[in-house]
C-alpha cells in the first residue's frame, strides 16, 4: 500500500468517525455519548479510535474546523472586497451555500447550547460569529442597524431549523431564509429591500463565484 492510499484510508476513517460521533451526539446528547459507544457503532476497537482522536471533544473540534473552513475562506474573501452593500449581499448568498454542509453541526450546537458553552468549541464559534459580524456591519452603525445585522445572521443560522417541519421543499425554504436575511442587511445599510435572490443554494458542491473585484 503506497502513502497516498494510506492517507486516503485514514481520511475516510476520520470522516466516518466524525459522522458517526455527530449522529450519536445529536441523538442522545454529547455528555451521554462515550468513546466506547462511538467505537462500537463503527465496529472498531477503542484503541483504533484513539489512533484518530484522543477525546470526544477532539472529534467535535475537528468537525467544527472542517465544516467551517469554507466559511473562514469566505470571510477572507469578503475582507478583500469593497465594503459595499453588493459585497454583503453576495457574501450572504455564498454563506447560505457554506451553511448547507455545516447544518448538522449547527443543529447540534443549537440543541446543546449549555454543553457547547463549556467546551472549547464555544469560544471558537464565538470568534467565527464576531468575524461574520465584522463583515456585515458598517463601521459606526447605529444600534438598530447592528440589531438588523445580528438578526440577519440569526436568520441564516436558525431559519432552516425553525422551518424543518414546515411545508415546502428545501430549496424554497433556503430561498425564503436568504431573502429575509438579505432584506435585513439592505435595511441596515439604508437601502430598499432587494428582490428575491435568483440563485438559491444548491446541495451539490460547486465552485465559488468569481470575486466581485480582482
Question: What pLDDT score was predicted for residue 116?
Answer: 87
Question: What pLDDT score was predicted for residue 207?
Answer: 44
Q: What is the mean pLDDT of residues 115-124?
A: 88
User: How far apart are alpha carbons 95 and 118 in whole angstroms?
Assistant: 27
Distances from the Cα of 48 to the Cαs of 3, 7, 15, 40, 54, in angstroms?
Answer: 19, 16, 14, 11, 10
Span 85-110, pLDDT tens digits = 999 999 999 998 888 778 888 888 88
Question: What pLDDT score was predicted for residue 4?
Answer: 53
Q: Is the dihedral of CA 158, 159, 163, 164 positive or negative?
A: negative
Distances from the Cα of 158 to the Cαs of 25, 110, 154, 212, in angstroms?
Answer: 19, 8, 6, 28
pTM for the predicted model, two decimal places: 0.73
Residues with Cβ within 8 Å of 49's Cβ and at least 6 positions away in sequence, in order, are: 17, 35, 38, 39, 42
- The least confident of 123-127, 177-181, 196-200, 210-214 is 210-214
Whether residue 102 contacts residue 71, with contact meaning beta carbons closer than 8 Å, is answered with yes
Q: Higher confidence at residue 175 or residue 210?
A: 175
Span 24-45, pLDDT tens digits = 998 988 999 999 999 999 999 8
pLDDT band at residue 192, thresholds of 50, 70 and 90?
A: low
Q: What DSSP assignment string belongs to 58-73?
A: HHHHHHHHHHHHHHHH
Which residue carries 429575509 as its cell?
180
* Distinct helix (H) and strand (E) counts, the chain: 9, 0
Total residues belonging to the chain: 214
Question: What pLDDT score was predicted for residue 161?
Answer: 73
Span 48-96, pLDDT tens digits = 898 889 999 999 999 999 988 999 999 999 999 998 999 999 999 999 8
Angle between helices 85-111 and 56-79 (to 10 degrees): 170
Percentage above 90 pLDDT, the chain: 44
Looking at the predicted structure, is the pLDDT value of residue 203 above 60? no
Whether residue 88 contacts residue 185, with contact meaning beta carbons closer than 8 Å, is answered with yes
Three cell numbers, residue 180 = 429575509
Looking at the predicted structure, is the pLDDT value of residue 200 above 50? no
User: How far apart are alpha carbons 160 and 151 in whole angstroms?
Assistant: 14
Say how far residue 93 (Cα) sits from the centre of its chain: 13
Amino acid at each position: 500500500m503506497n502513502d497516498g492510499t494510506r492517507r486516503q484510508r485514514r481520511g475516510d476513517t476520520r470522516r466516518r468517525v466524525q459522522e458517526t460521533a455527530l449522529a450519536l451526539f445529536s441523538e442522545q446528547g454529547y455528555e451521554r455519548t462515550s468513546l466506547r459507544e462511538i467505537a462500537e457503532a463503527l465496529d472498531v476497537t477503542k484503541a483504533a479510535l484513539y489512533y484518530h482522536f484522543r477525546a470526544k471533544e477532539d472529534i467535535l473540534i475537528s468537525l467544527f474546523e472542517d465544516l467551517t473552513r469554507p466559511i473562514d475562506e469566505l470571510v477572507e474573501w469578503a475582507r478583500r472586497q469593497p465594503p459595499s452593500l453588493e459585497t454583503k449581499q453576495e457574501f450572504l448568498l455564498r454563506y447560505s451555500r457554506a451553511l448547507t454542509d455545516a447544518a448538522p453541526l449547527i443543529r447540534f450546537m443549537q440543541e446543546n447550547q449549555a454543553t457547547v458553552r463549556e467546551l472549547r468549541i464555544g469560544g471558537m464559534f464565538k470568534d467565527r460569529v464576531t468575524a461574520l459580524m465584522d463583515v456585515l456591519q458598517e463601521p459606526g452603525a447605529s444600534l438598530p442597524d447592528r440589531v438588523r445585522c445580528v438578526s440577519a445572521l440569526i436568520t441564516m443560522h436558525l431559519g432552516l431549523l425553525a422551518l424543518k417541519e414546515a411545508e415546502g421543499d428545501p430549496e424554497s425554504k433556503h430561498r425564503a431564509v436568504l431573502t429575509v436575511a438579505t432584506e435585513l442587511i439592505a435595511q441596515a445599510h439604508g437601502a430598499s429591500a432587494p428582490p428575491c435572490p435568483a440563485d438559491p443554494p444548491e446541495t451539490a458542491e460547486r465552485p465559488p463565484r468569481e470575486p466581485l473585484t480582482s
